[in-house]
Structure 1
């Protein structure tokens, strides 16, 4: 199980995966807005999305877990 975390503080503006989706390494899984820039968060592993911890509109801090992949 791998937890994918935010690499900066920002607001979640798009969630690009759903529970059960298969993701590949480097695939965009979520988009943050930080300092008026859109910042894609990418999967670091290959696997299946088993938990999504962030919703559109949530403010997240650096290090907050966004998605869990198995």
Structure 2
């Protein structure tokens, strides 16, 4: 399993995927919003979304795990 982490403290603007979705490396999983900028959090590798640990409107800290990818 592979953790996908937020690169900065921000609010979750939009969740782009659901648990069970197959994703490609570089595909946006979550869009964060900070200072009116939208920052995508992308899949670090191809796989399946095993867990989503955030929801829209939630605040996340830098380094927080937002999703977990499985094989």
| TM-score (norm: length of structure 2) | 0.96
Unaligned runs of 5+ in 1: none
- Structure 1 residues 17-64: Cα deviation after superposition (integer angstroms, max 9, x where no partner): 001000110001110001110111111111000100000010001000
- Structure 2 residues not aligned, in runs of 5+: none
Residue in 2 that maps onto 1:9:
9
Would you say how many aligned residue pairs link Structure 1 and Structure 2? 70
- Give, in whole Å, the separation in 2 of the partners of 1:56 and 1:25: 22
